[in-house]
Amino acid sequence: MPRHAPPIDCTPEDKAELAAMARSRSAEARLVDRSRIVLKCLEGKQLQQVAQELEITVPTVRKWRTRFAQGGLAALHDESRSGKPPTYDAKFRDRVLELLEQTPPPGLSHWDGSTVAQTLNASVHSVWRVLRKEGIYLQRLRTWCVSTDPEFAPKAAEVVGLYLNPPLNALVICVDEKPSIQALQRPSGYVETDNGAVVRAMKSTYKRNGTLNLFAALEIATGQVHGQTTETKKREDFRRFLESVIAELPTDKEIHVILDNYSPHKKNEDWLAKFGGRVQFHFTPTSASWLNQIEIWFGLLTRKALRGASFASKDNLRSMIEAFIKRTNEHPKPFKWRKREVKGSQLRNTLINLCN
């Protein structure tokens, strides 16, 4: 009678990890193959069937099935072998990370892989392996904005509170301006690149046809947007725009306006007094305008209507903005506040943390 291998089993957590490893495109190929072997064995398939499906030998299936039954997930990794000590070990990794914290050589603004390799007298491939493993991308660049407002916590709580729990019988609107939108005119279209990919392309030269400023207000409950383009962005323009928005809102509701600390938004006490307390301003902390939801809509406007477009005049630009506002209001959708925690300073020195 043919002998049957004893059944194997594992916890749901280990099985989920095996499945993730079997689908991985970044893990070592050997680990991916071994995970697939074990998963098929866990399904109760015989050694010959697993070997046939994966196009490998029966002894290979038997080896990793037995290794997993005896040692679990850890047994799928190669055992340590005797031989020459590795040239690039954990100490080399630490040297790479420590070097990135130092000032780059004269004439360079930042480190790159080849410069790190030259400085450490090491292989550039070994440097890139360390960087990839640690998730460090030397050529990528991001910006940050840290609020140093001493009243950050109460101001942020006030704004977020209006998003999550607005007052009864009141409307909350987010207001800001997008200044100096350029009416750039340049040809664009689709081109085929050297590798055969078809991409959008724009001519490198362009003609400037002036600029416009956009005042916008977002109703957080409905997602409706009110907008107005202007030639200037003075306090009078801001007040005039806000008056037009308030005139379109129900007269029996309080209006809470979320704003940043731009100068035209300040010193409006005399203007607010005309509304008898019906209109109230709430300011975001300094350097924290990202708490204002209208900035999300400005991002959509830039990506979907302005970037890559060509405008022969300011009137063309104005028409595009108005059309995008109309399109938004045809199917408005409010934004959902998903950020669980808001901090004034969210930076940490990643490299020092890795070295420690």
Residue by residue, DSSP assigns 43-81 as: TT--HHHHHHHHT--HHHHHHHHHHHHHHGGGGGSPPP-
Which tokens in the block code for residue 253? 């509701």
Q: Tell me, what's the pLDDT at 3?
A: 57
275 within some domain: yes
Whole-Å CA distances, 62 to 4, 53, 68, 124: 11, 14, 10, 39
* Mean pLDDT confidence for 104-112: 92
* Mean pLDDT confidence for 91-113: 92
Tell me: do 127 and 233 sit in the same domain: no
3 within some domain: no
Vertex 258 angle, CA 148 and 292, to 5°: 60
Query: What is the sign, positive or negative, of the torsion defined by CA atoms of 118, 119, 123, 126?
Result: negative
Q: How far apart are CA 131 and CA 251, in angstroms?
A: 59
- The band of 348, judged by pLDDT with boundaries at 50, 70 and 90, is low
Q: For the chain, what percent of residues have pLDDT higher than 70?
A: 94
Tell me: do 203 and 305 sit in the same domain: yes
Tell me: do 209 and 233 sit in the same domain: yes
Tell me: do 106 and 238 sit in the same domain: no
Are β-strands 254-259 and 279-283 bridged in parallel, bridged antiparallel, or unpaired?
Answer: parallel
171 within some domain: yes
Tell me: do 325 and 298 sit in the same domain: yes
Residue with the two structure tokens 């997993």: 68
Q: How far apart are CA 271 and CA 266, in angstroms?
A: 11
Whole-Å CA distances, 182 to 215, 289, 314, 316: 15, 22, 8, 11
Final residue in a domain of this structure, among 30, 50, 76:
76
Is the pLDDT assigned to residue 352 strictly greater than 90?
Answer: no
Tell me: do 202 and 54 sit in the same domain: no
162 within some domain: yes
- The band of 326, judged by pLDDT with boundaries at 50, 70 and 90, is very high
* Mean pLDDT confidence for 181-192: 90
Structural domain total, the chain:
3
Closest by CA to 199, choosing from 185, 214, 189, 210, is: 189
197 within some domain: yes
Distance from chain centroid for Cα 209:
33
Q: Is 52:61 a contact under the CB 8 Å cutoff?
A: no
Tell me: do 293 and 162 sit in the same domain: yes
* Mean pLDDT confidence for 210-233: 94
Residue 175, domain CATH: 3.30.420.10
- The band of 289, judged by pLDDT with boundaries at 50, 70 and 90, is confident
Q: Tell me, what's the pLDDT at 144?
A: 74
352 within some domain: no
- Strands of 279-283's sheet, edge to edge? 225-230, 207-219, 170-185, 254-259, 279-283
What range does the domain containing 319 cover? 152-330
- The band of 8, judged by pLDDT with boundaries at 50, 70 and 90, is confident
Q: Is 115:105 a contact under the CB 8 Å cutoff?
A: yes
* Mean pLDDT confidence for 148-174: 91
Q: Which residue has the higher pLDDT, 109 or 80?
A: 109
Tell me: do 116 and 244 sit in the same domain: no
Q: How far apart are CA 34 and CA 64, in angstroms?
A: 7
Tell me: do 167 and 311 sit in the same domain: yes
96 within some domain: yes
* Mean pLDDT confidence for 64-78: 88
Tell me: do 123 and 194 sit in the same domain: no
292 within some domain: yes
Tell me: do 167 and 63 sit in the same domain: no
- The band of 1, judged by pLDDT with boundaries at 50, 70 and 90, is very low
Mean of pLDDT over the chain: 89
Q: Which residue has the higher pLDDT, 354 or 318?
A: 318
Tell me: do 99 and 231 sit in the same domain: no
**H helices within the chain, ranges in order?**
12-23, 29-42, 47-54, 58-71, 90-100, 113-120, 124-134, 152-164, 235-248, 269-273, 294-301, 314-330, 350-355
pLDDT tens digits, 246-283:
999 998 999 999 999 999 999 999 999 998 889 999 99
pLDDT tens digits, 227-240:
999 999 999 999 99
